[in-house]
């Protein structure tokens, strides 16, 4: 009988959030043990969107497998591609032209802004405010237009190839990016007016979903979720790749460790991304956009690991090569999976309404967790 | 030929039909208005395909909902499950009785109109609890429990702020309350205490009608759809309609108590100005004020994030209730000393 009505022997209610639920933004399944409105335990169940991308990559050549990774964290497709391209280039010991590196960084930062904007809208929607979602999408659309012109796609761009880029920039690229920067600088203040300063919003976020620095380290939280707890983990600063060591930007750290801290990290990070783009947009060097590579790529026998900072945290690509045209084994260290594992610790003792505020600030993209 | 019984019966039938007509018409108008207001705030167009400028959108939606299958889940308590939407609708219809829609135009001029409204509106919570419990769904149950706690709490503040006007007027009759505002609406005549009670009234009724930022009962991102998760087709539509009619009614009550109902806007001795104002039909005054308040409540919904359940109850019991109690004392002092204009 107890099983039937879904309670534990202590009389706590067990409730299934997902796999079809508006707050999980995908097919995440959370089994929540509730005492009234208070959360006692959160148990994520994964696997609903598992496509075995890692296994698929083993049968794809080094040119092909990059495009599958656009489907992992679809909101930072460029950055995923970047990680894979870097790993192959490291193995091949290909020198990427300066022009391609600069363009890659600009594209990465544009992707980061687009991703954070979508997060901002979805975050506000989880909290119960619908309007910000549309405002965020208005600006995100501008980035998508820029991407569409240069890469030919809006979501899964497939623009990076080992050795550089697939095509050169669209002639209007610089003009459009500059126009976007001018527009976005005004809009980000509008975001603050709409949501950040709202008393209800601050009350919903402050002190909610606390994650200590120690817990952040032990769960492997990276990206804004880790930096909200004061953990310095920005790969762009710690292990610079492309031209990140040549541009000026700050690593955003907040020490409170609550949802508001993680929220503020992302908001401030968008401003830093703008700063990086501003430095680079007028200084794109002339030259080739792609290095000369062989038609068929073969990585030497060995193990290769590269990592990049995606919009959600550290993405690691680990390739084991046996010297063939396809990887022998491939493994992605995705940020979403580690960040999700901290949810239980964060949520215990909180209210059911807090859960969406926590999940929102973890910025989960389910295909990134399941792969 | 017409003995009093017949006359009475015919009157009742006409009244009933007009209430149902108004109920349906208001539902259509308010749903369209909500969608247009939302679209305007969210920089999009909103419904614009069905009929001229999308005017017939809600009519098309109604047809869709009418022909949809009204499912009753297997594990549910079938009687209560099917009864709940009708209670919700019935409450909304009953509340229309004492409201004065225009000068000398009301269905039932009872001498305890305000008491009647506060009493009947409390029944609404029963239909929500019934729906949540009978659905045999955990989300519904949680939504219903939240809603129960919320409505019972916020009724106190709403009741106390209504009482301030009753104290000032000395009558529970809606007609008397409106007539007392002939020389100025209470919100102007009653100094700051009435302004405070007006603000508290708007907050409390927003919570009472389960509208954002107090829409915890149907918090979409937490409870999918709360107490009406399992409802579909016309049964869902009745809840949906009842919600909008309730918004209309609480705004109508707000307009009646604080903004003078159908009473035109008059300024002291400005004879010419007052005369011009009198030319505007009283029904336009009433509906204008009511729809202004409805707009304010819609504005809340599309601007604010949602509160959490403990914050919601804190707001009521720690802030609104003490303030409105103290405010009632102030207003009583004003009424006794005749300090109001």
CB contacts of B41 in chain A (<8 Å) are: 131
Q: Is B217 on the interface with A (CB under 8 A)?
A: no
Q: Is A28 on the interface with B (CB under 8 A)?
A: no
Q: Could you please report the per-residue DSSP string of A300-369?
A: PSEEEEEEEE-SSSEEEEEEEE-SSSS-SEEEEE-HHHHHHHTHHHHHTTSBHHHHHHHHHHHT--HHHH
CB contacts of B34 in chain A (<8 Å) are: none
- Contact indicator for B87, B127 with CB cutoff of 8 Å: yes
Q: Is B46 on the interface with A (CB under 8 A)?
A: no
Q: Could you please report the per-residue DSSP string of A101-159?
A: HHHHHHHHHHHHHHHHHHHHHHHHHHHT--HHHHHHHHHHHHHHHHHHHHHS-SSS---
Facing residues of A332 across strands?
Answer: A317
CATH topology of domain A2-370: Cytochrome-c3 Hydrogenase; chain B (1.10.645)
Res B195: pLDDT: 86
Compute the distance between CA of residue A49 and CA of residue A27 in angstroms, rounded to an integer: 7
Compute the distance between CA of residue A106 and CA of residue A112 in angstroms, rounded to an integer: 10
SS3 B245: helix
Res A4: pLDDT: 45
* B37 vs B221, higher pLDDT: B37
Match 């006359």 to its residue by tokens. B7
Compute the distance between CA of residue A112 and CA of residue A143 in angstroms, rounded to an integer: 10
Facing residues of A39 across strands?
Answer: A34
Q: What is the pLDDT of residues A92-128, one digit of tens each?
A: 888 888 888 888 899 899 999 999 989 888 888 888 8
CB contacts of B142 in chain A (<8 Å) are: 15, 37, 352
Res A125: pLDDT: 85
pLDDT-derived band at B340 (thresholds 50, 70, 90) equals low
Residue B55 CA to its chain's centroid (Å): 23
Among chain A residues, the shortest Cα distance to B217 is held by A353
Selected for mutation to probe chain A from B219, B222, B303 (highest A CB count within 10 Å) is B222
CB contacts of B38 in chain A (<8 Å) are: 130-131
Contacts from A85-89 at CB under 8 Å and sequence distance 24+? A85/A160, A85/A161, A85/A162, A85/A163, A86/A241, A86/A242, A86/A306, A86/A308, A86/A317, A87/A304, A87/A305, A87/A306, A87/A317, A87/A318, A87/A319, A88/A62, A88/A162, A88/A297, A88/A299, A88/A319, A89/A162, A89/A163
- Portion 110-149 of B in contact with A at CB < 8 A: 138-139, 142, 146
Facing residues of A74 across strands?
Answer: none
Weakest mean pLDDT among A165-179, B186-200, B258-272? B258-272
Contacts from B56-59 at CB under 8 Å and sequence distance 24+? B57/B32, B58/B27, B58/B28, B58/B29, B58/B31, B58/B32, B59/B28
Q: Is A354 on the interface with B (CB under 8 A)?
A: yes
Between A and B, how many residue pairs show a Cβ–Cβ distance under 8 A? 84
The ranges assigned to domains in chain B are: 1-67, 75-337
Reading the block at residue A243, the tokens are 């031209």
What proportion of chain B, given as a percentage, has pLDDT over 70? 97
The helix or strand, by DSSP H or E, that contains position B322, with its residue range, turns out to be: helix B321-337
Selected for mutation to probe chain B from A4, A130, A141 (highest B CB count within 10 Å) is A130
CB contacts of A31 in chain B (<8 Å) are: none
DSSP state of A71: G
Q: What is the mean pLDDT of residues B259-288?
A: 80
CB contacts of B216 in chain A (<8 Å) are: 353
Cβ–Cβ gap B221/A356 under 8 Å: yes
Which member of A15, A135, A353 has the closest CB to residue B308? Answer: A353
Q: Is A31 on the interface with B (CB under 8 A)?
A: no
Selected for mutation to probe chain B from A32, A128, A195, A349 (highest B CB count within 10 Å) is A128
Res A6: pLDDT: 63
The whole-angstrom distance between B106's CA and the closest CA on chain A is 38
CB contacts of B308 in chain A (<8 Å) are: 203-204, 351, 353-354
- Contact indicator for B309, B316 with CB cutoff of 8 Å: no
Compute the distance between CA of residue B259 and CA of residue B103 in angstroms, rounded to an integer: 15
Q: What is the pLDDT of residues B280-316, one digit of tens each?
A: 888 888 888 899 999 998 888 888 888 888 888 888 8
Cβ–Cβ gap B309/A126 under 8 Å: no
Q: Is A206 on the interface with B (CB under 8 A)?
A: no
Res A1: pLDDT: 32
Strands A329-333 and A302-309: unpaired
In order of B67, B231, B234, the CA distances from B63 in angstroms are: 6, 17, 10
Q: Is A291 on the interface with B (CB under 8 A)?
A: no
Res A3: pLDDT: 44
Contacts of B17 (CB under 8 A, 6+ apart): none
What is the sign of the dihedral through the CA atoms of B98, B99, B104 and B105?
A: negative
Q: Is A127 on the interface with B (CB under 8 A)?
A: yes
Ranges B78-82, B103-107, B187-191, B268-272, most confident: B78-82
On the question of pLDDT at B132 being above 50, the answer is yes
On the question of pLDDT at B174 being above 70, the answer is yes
DSSP state of B316: I
In order of A317, B113, B128, B207, the CA distances from B87 in angstroms are: 60, 20, 9, 19
Q: Is A320 on the interface with B (CB under 8 A)?
A: no
Q: Is B299 on the interface with A (CB under 8 A)?
A: no
Match 């202590």 to its residue by tokens. A10
Compute the distance between CA of residue B42 and CA of residue B279 in angstroms, rounded to an integer: 37
Res B341: pLDDT: 64
Tally DSSP H helices, then E strands, for chain A. 16, 8
pLDDT-derived band at B332 (thresholds 50, 70, 90) equals confident
10-residue stretch averages of pLDDT, chain A, 371 residues long = 54 80 79 85 86 88 86 87 88 86 89 90 85 87 88 85 85 88 86 83 86 89 88 87 86 86 89 89 84 82 89 89 87 88 87 83 86 81
For B293, counting Cβ atoms within 10 Å of its Cβ (0-12 exposed, 13-18 middle, 19+ buried), the class is buried
pTM, two decimal places: 0.84
Which member of B139, B142, B305 has the closest CB to residue A204? Answer: B305
Contacts of B74 (CB under 8 A, 6+ apart): none
Which member of B138, B146, B213 has the closest CB to residue A13? Answer: B138
Res A7: pLDDT: 64
Contacts of A88 (CB under 8 A, 6+ apart): A62, A66, A94, A162, A297, A299, A319
């Amino acid at each position: 009988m107890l099983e039937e009505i879904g309670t534990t022997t202590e009389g706590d209610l067990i409730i299934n959030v997902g796999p079809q639920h508006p707050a999980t933004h995908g097919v995440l399944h959370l089994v929540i043990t509730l005492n009234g409105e208070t959360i006692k335990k959160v148990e994520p169940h994964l696997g609903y969107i598992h496509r075995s991308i890692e296994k698929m990559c083993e049968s794809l050549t080094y040119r092909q497998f990059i495009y599958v990774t656009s489907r992992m964290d679809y909101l930072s497709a460029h950055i995923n591609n970047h990680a894979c391209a870097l790993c192959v280039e490291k193995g091949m010991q290909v020198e990427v032209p300066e022009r391609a590196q600069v363009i890659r960084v600009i594209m990465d930062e544009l992707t980061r802004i687009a991703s954070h904007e979508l997060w901002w809208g979805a975050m506000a929607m989880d909290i119960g405010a619908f309007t910000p979602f549309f405002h965020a999408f208005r600006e995100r659309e501008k980035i998508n237009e820029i991407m569409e012109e240069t890469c030919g796609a809006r979501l899964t761009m497939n623009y990076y190839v080992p050795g550089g880029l697939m095509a050169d920039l669209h002639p209007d690229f610089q003009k459009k990016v500059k126009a976007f920067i001018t527009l976005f600088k005004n809009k980000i203040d509008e975001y603050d007016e709409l949501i950040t300063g709202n008393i209800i919003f601050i009350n919903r976020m402050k002190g909610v979903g606390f994650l200590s620095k120690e817990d952040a380290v032990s769960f492997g939280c990276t990206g804004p979720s880790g930096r909200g707890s004061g953990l310095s983990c920005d790969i762009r600063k710690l292990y610079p790749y492309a031209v990140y060591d040549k541009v000026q930007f700050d690593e955003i750290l907040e020490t409170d460790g609550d949802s508001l801290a993680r929220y503020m990290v992302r908001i401030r990070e968008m401003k830093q991304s703008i700063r990086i783009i501003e430095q680079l947009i007028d200084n794109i060097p002339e030259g080739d956009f792609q290095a000369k590579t062989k038609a068929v790529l073969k990585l030497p026998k060995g193990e290769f690991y590269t990592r990049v900072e995606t919009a959600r945290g550290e993405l690691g690509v680990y390739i084991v090569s046996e010297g063939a045209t396809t990887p022998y084994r491939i493994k992605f260290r995705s940020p979403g999976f580690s960040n999700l594992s901290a949810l239980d610790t964060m949520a215990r003792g909180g209210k059911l309404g807090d859960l969406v505020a926590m999940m929102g600030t973890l910025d989960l993209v389910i295909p990134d967790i399941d792969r | 030929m017409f003995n009093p019984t017949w006359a009475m019966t015919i009157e009742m039938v006409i009244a009933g039909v007009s209430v149902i007509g108004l109920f349906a018409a208001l539902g259509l108008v308010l749903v369209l208005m909500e969608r247009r207001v939302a679209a305007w705030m969210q920089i999009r167009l909103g419904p614009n395909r069905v009929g001229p400028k999308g005017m017939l959108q809600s009519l098309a939606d109604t047809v869709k909902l009418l022909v949809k299958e009204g499912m009753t889940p297997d594990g549910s308590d079938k009687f209560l499950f099917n009864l709940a939407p009708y209670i919700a609708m019935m409450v909304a219809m009953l509340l229309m009785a004492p409201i004065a829609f225009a000068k000398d135009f009301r269905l039932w001029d009872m001498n305890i109109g305000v008491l009647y409204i506060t009493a009947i509106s409390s029944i609404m919570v029963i239909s929500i609890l019934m729906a949540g419990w009978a659905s045999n769904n955990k989300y519904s149950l949680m939504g219903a429990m939240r809603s129960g706690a919320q409505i019972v709490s916020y009724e106190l503040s709403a009741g106390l702020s209504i009482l301030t006007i009753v104290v000032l007027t000395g009558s529970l009759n809606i007609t008397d309350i409106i007539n007392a505002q002939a020389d100025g609406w209470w919100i102007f005549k009653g100094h700051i205490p009435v302004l405070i009670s007006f603000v508290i009234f708007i907050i409390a009724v927003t919570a009472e009608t389960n509208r954002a930022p107090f829409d915890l009962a149907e918090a979409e991102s937490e409870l999918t759809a709360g107490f009406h998760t399992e409802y579909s087709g016309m049964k869902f539509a009745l809840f949906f309609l009842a919600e909008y009619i309730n918004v209309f009614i609480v705004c109508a009550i707000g307009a009646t108590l604080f903004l003078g109902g159908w009473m035109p806007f008059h300024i002291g001795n400005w004879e010419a100005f007052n005369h011009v104002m009198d030319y505007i039909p009283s029904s336009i005054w009433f509906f204008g004020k009511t729809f202004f308040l409805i707009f304010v409540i819609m504005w809340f919904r599309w601007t604010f994030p949602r509160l959490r359940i403990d914050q919601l109850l804190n707001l009521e019991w720690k802030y609104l209730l003490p303030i409105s109690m103290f405010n009632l004392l102030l207003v009583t002092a004003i009424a006794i000393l005749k300090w109001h204009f």
